[in-house]
Chains A and B, each alone.
Chain A
Amino acid sequence: MPDGSAPHGAEATAEGQRIESAVRAVLGSMSGDLTVVEAALLAELEGLGRTVARAKQEIASLKVDDITLSHIPSATDELDAIVDHTAQATNEILDVCETLEGVATRIGGPEAEALGNAVTRIYEACSFQDITGQRIGKVVTALKAIEARVDQVVSRFGAVSGHAASGESAAAPVDPDETEGRRLAHGPQLPGAGVSQADIDKLLADFD
């Protein structure tokens, strides 16, 4: 669409007329009578052309700006807020743990030991905040990738996204300066997808 808007009404009709004239041109180029198979094939082609035109019209009329300007940024903001709030809560828990450790030092004896062990378990549990943050980071990256893909698909059909159809590949560009550390930074794996601490210990032992 020259002005970047979705094809509606007259434009959609023009699209249909283009298909019809293309079919007529094919018909005109054929000499002699059409066989039943050729006629059926042409009818199928015309039907397909109309389906494609309709799909293009529907895709182009999607409210992509809602997705790219509102829904995804709002979702990523919400996720960032979750990370901030869990970090805040974790830090408050750690404040309390440090107070309890102070109390344990003052009381001494078996009670202090029991208190120390309990605090250690809380520290261990709090380390999940880091994993949660990293997992949410992966979701945000996925949302941004979806946003880019949606934008790209719609812009190819001349829709309202405001981006020109570039025809570029959807694959992320390769960074020649990417280090091995960055390339291998996958973040936390889902349960069962990564290796366990026991497997890691075994793997390291195999090197020794």
Chain B
Amino acid sequence: MDKNTSVLIVDDYKTMLRIIRNLLKQLDFENVEEATDGAEALAKMRAGNFGLVISDWNMAPMTGLDLLKEVRADARLKSTPFIMITAESKTENVIAAKAAGVSNYIVKPFNAETLRGKIEKVMANA
């Protein structure tokens, strides 16, 4: 797992951004940027070079699922590992995310071990 990977975390709750950032720091990921919805994240991704996206689902104006679809439709961004961390825990949500090309899916509330495991898995497959 390359700890120099640039990670973009996307969540409309500032507190959650801070928690994920701190958990990533414990995993030695120091190169972390933040966005508060899908549209801002997409703009940052198009302007930058991220090796991993960790996104919430329920945000406005652009949701995490819509961000994922945009990313997978973009020739340059489409292979970026994308983890959804969300309170959306209905089967239909997981299926929709998988159909849109999500790399992994974490349901909130989650623990640090789950986050570490999923990051390792998607980075290994990247």
What is the interface of chain A, defined by CB distance below 8 A to chain B? 87, 90-91, 94, 97-98, 101, 116, 120, 123-124, 126-131, 133-134, 179-182, 184-189, 193-197, 199-200, 203-204, 207
Contacts and interface: CB of A to CB of B under 8 A. Distances in A.
A87 B92 CA distance: 30
B89 A189 contact: yes
A133 B108 contact: no
B123 interface: no
B33 interface: no
Contacts of B89: 188-189, 193-196, 200
A130 B95 contact: no
B106 A134 contact: no
A127 B57 contact: no
Name the prevailing secondary structure of the A interface residues.
Answer: helix
A190 to B, nearest CB: 10
B94 interface: yes
Contacts of B95: 203
Contacts, number: 120
A120 B22 CA distance: 9
Given A184-B65, A188-B87, A195-B94, A120 B15 contact: no
Interface in B60-116: 62-67, 69, 87-96, 98, 104-112, 114
Contact of A194 (B67, B90, B105): B90
B90 A126 contact: no
B98 A127 contact: no
